[in-house]
Amino acid sequence: MSTQGPRRDDDPYARIRAVIARIPAGRVATYGQVAALAALAGHARQVGYALRNLPESSDLPWQRVINQKGEVSPRSAPGYERYQQHLLEEEGVRFDAAGRVDLERYRWEPDDDRPTRRWKPPRGR
DNA sequence: AAGTTGACAAGGA
DNA sequence: TTCCTTGCCAACT
């Protein structure tokens, strides 16, 4: 009925969470990518906002969302970045010395079910 | 009601 | 390449 709250497909944050829930372990997606997949292109910041409001009890794989630079986004509470990186490393995501993930290698695509890409194609040369 | 904030992103220097 | 500025837009004061 019309007396109930926003339905899943109607609530932007619910759609954002639905997209994140689809990211397989060992893969990552960027904020902008999640927003676009949730039919909210241009609302990358809302993805971060949704995660900030995420209840502690949530089982959403929030750690698989990183920024376009390939690094875990800085956050108000220090220490969480280290925690997020740790969670990802346990899933097999490798970070370089600068604390960045190779997006070409670990970025998840909706139609991509494979675990992880083992190598990146050689650059033209 | 108006100004500020922020788990972003793209472009210029 | 990194750093800084600008654009973004809902949520929050």
- Tell me the two tokens of residue A104: 């070409």
Dump pLDDT digits (tens) for A6-34: 566 789 999 999 999 999 999 999 999 99
Query: How far apart, in whole angstroms, are the C-alpha atoms of residue A47 and residue A20?
Result: 10
pLDDT at A2: 46
The nucleotide whose C1' lies nearest the CA of A42 is: C8
To the nearest 10 degrees (0 to 180), the angle between helices A44-52 and A12-21 is 80
The nucleotide whose C1' lies nearest the CA of A44 is: B8
> What is the reported pTM?
0.88
Query: Tell me, in Å, how far CA of A75 is from C1' of C13?
Result: 20
Query: Tell me, in Å, how far CA of A59 is from C1' of B8?
Result: 23
Determine the average pLDDT of the residues in A73-80.
84
Specify the DSSP element, H or E, that contains A112: none
Dump pLDDT digits (tens) for A27-69: 999 999 999 999 999 999 999 999 999 988 899 999 999 999 9
